[in-house]
Amino acid sequence: MVRLDTPPAVDLQGIHKFYGSVHALRGVDLSIKKGDVCVAIGPSGSGKSTLLRCINQLEIVSAGRVFLEGELQGYTERDGKFHPLPPREVARQRRRTGMVFQGFNLFPHKMALENVTEGPIQVKGQKSKEASERGTALLERVGLTGLGDRYPNQLSGGQQQRVAIARALAMEPEVMLFDEPTSALDPELVGEVLDVITDLAKCGITMMLVTHEIGFARKVADHLIFMDQGAIVEQGAPHDVLDDPQNPRTKAFLSKVL
């Protein structure tokens, strides 16, 4: 279990999320150790993506606390009350996480390399020459050597998603978040993106992934969670959850997707 002297990379405590009257997350507790890969699976609408988006404050939790390396996200807590942080502080906290979206969300008016260097130059204040060198190296790392001067619409879906991964890595985040990174891809392009993510997982960066690729989840996950109706129903080592599910809802879901 987690040792007290080193806080977990991600620690979610009692997370609830309401959209109006819809109770999207119902008291989720989850902690991810440094260097671990946590994979969330579950049916559509089970709250996996919402949970992921709470970690980098794209969603504001209705109740509960989000900690990154022990630091409370989005608020300072005084006398039992939550005081929202100013936008500048929120932006600073977001730099600790990198996010890869289902729909890539590359900046269409910027070339691939510019997409990667935008954060380092504008947010971290890197010199553009240094940022370009690092960005080129990152594009090389995700297998896109020589494609830095392409605009996103000149790249395939798989290439775009790999640029998006490089863009997130360029900020040197402590935690990488992947929100169904291959769901928008043609089947023959899924593999190239999963290979890049698998390589990253081996490098020891802390990751949380939401995916429908069960085989991939089994391969990369250190910790697998199964979510349904806004709650974690079952969790543990991937082979335990996938091969010997205890909860009937997990069994029902796996029988459909495996």
Task: Using CB under 8 A, list all residues that contact another protein.
Answer: 56, 58, 87-88, 91-92, 94-95, 97-99, 101, 103, 105-111, 118-119, 122-123, 149, 151-154, 164, 167-168, 170-171
User: Shortest Cβ distance from residue 73 to another protein (Å)?
Assistant: 13
Closer to another protein by Cβ: residue 154 or 247? 154
Closer to another protein by Cβ: residue 44 or 153? 153
Using DSSP, state whether 85 is helix, strand or coil: coil
Closer to another protein by Cβ: residue 71 or 244? 71
Q: Is there a contact between 164 and 155 (Cβ–Cβ < 8 Å)?
A: no
Shortest CA distance to 25 belongs to which of 228, 208, 241? 228
What is the helix (H) or strand (E) element at residue 180, kind and residue range? none
User: Shortest Cβ distance from residue 32 to another protein (Å)?
Assistant: 18
User: Shortest Cβ distance from residue 42 to another protein (Å)?
Assistant: 22
User: Shortest Cβ distance from residue 253 to another protein (Å)?
Assistant: 28
Residue type, 15: I
Closer to another protein by Cβ: residue 117 or 250? 117
User: Shortest Cβ distance from residue 75 to another protein (Å)?
Assistant: 17
Closer to another protein by Cβ: residue 98 or 245? 98
Residues ≥6 apart with Cβ < 8 Å to 138: 116, 166, 169, 170
Rounded Cα–Cα distance for residues 104 and 79 (Å): 41
For 13, phi then psi, to 5°, come to -125, 115
Q: Is there a contact between 161 and 103 (Cβ–Cβ < 8 Å)?
A: no
Closer to another protein by Cβ: residue 60 or 254? 60
Shortest CA distance to 27 belongs to which of 210, 231, 208? 231
User: Shortest Cβ distance from residue 102 to another protein (Å)?
Assistant: 9
Rounded Cα–Cα distance for residues 258 and 253 (Å): 9
Using DSSP, state whether 60 is helix, strand or coil: coil
